[in-house]
Structure 1
Amino acid sequence: MAIDPNFEENRELEGREHGVDVWGPTEPPEQLGIRGVHVAVDFDICLSDGACLEDCPVDVFEWVDTPGHPESEIKANPTHEEQCIDCMLCVDVCPVDAIDVDPGRTDRF
């Protein structure tokens, strides 16, 4: 299942962590929600293969520790989403469709 492109309408903003908005529901360590706004990563389906970190030309992503999560113990966090140039490379290379980039969602950072 891919990230919900309408997460802002379908989920509740629970706060901020590691510099980005966190959209619930969350129940760590198993359920971590969606992180980010303009560049959003569904931490619950992210496999942490690193393709988005490798291919992003403006270094939007940083690894964050997520100990105990069933998919992986690190995740690609969109820490610098304000640097995004909307090239969509991260969306294209994500093997599980865990990333959504929406040029219209820039008002929260």
Structure 2
Amino acid sequence: MDHQLKWKDGVSKEYGVHGSAVGVDFDICIADGICITVCPVNVFDRMELPGEQEKMDKGVTNDSGKAPLATWKADPAREKDCIFCRACEIQCPVQAIKITEP
């Protein structure tokens, strides 16, 4: 499922779910890094989101009135290495991660 965040500066940005076996919903992810910390096989990388730092610096908010929480998200860059232990899914405080075994 793809989502769009529409910022008050008029720019829409699609984030949606990244990954398939290890799906991270970028619209929900708060970038606390717990998934990066608990993953025993280093599936995740920090993915910088272009333009987000500038928006944070300007105080631009999204259409719900909430400021972006981070300039990066946890990207399942090496999801093929996942051993399906579900540590990331269990520890994610906002349930932004869904593990789907093949």
TM-score (norm 1): 0.68
Residue of 64, 71, 88 corresponding to 1:90: 88
Partner in structure 2 of residue 35 of structure 1? 18
Residue of 46, 61, 67 corresponding to 1:63: 46
When residues 77 and 29 of structure 1 are mapped into structure 2, their CA distance, relative to the original with a 3 A threshold, is farther
When residues 84 and 29 of structure 1 are mapped into structure 2, their CA distance, relative to the original with a 3 A threshold, is farther
CA distance in structure 2 between the partners assigned to 1:74 and 1:52 by the alignment: 13
* Alpha carbons 1:60, 1:78 under 8 Å: kept: yes
Gaps of at least 5 residues in structure 2 are 6-10, 53-66
> Pairwise mapping of residues 9-48 of structure 1 onto structure 2 (< 5 A)?
11=1, 24-26=2-4, 30-48=13-31
C-alpha RMSD of the superposition: 1.9
Which has the bigger relative contact order, CA under 8 A and spacing at least 6? Answer: 2
* Alpha carbons 2:3, 2:27 under 8 Å: kept: no
Larger deviation: 51-60 or 28-37? 28-37
Identity %: 38
When residues 29 and 85 of structure 1 are mapped into structure 2, their CA distance, relative to the original with a 3 A threshold, is farther
- In structure 1, give the amino acid aligned to 2:92: C
* Alpha carbons 1:45, 1:71 under 8 Å: kept: no
What is the count of residue pairs matched by the alignment?
82
**Structure with greater helix percent:** 2
Secondary structure of 1:103's counterpart equals coil
Matched, 1:74 2:72: yes
* Alpha carbons 2:47, 2:72 under 8 Å: kept: yes
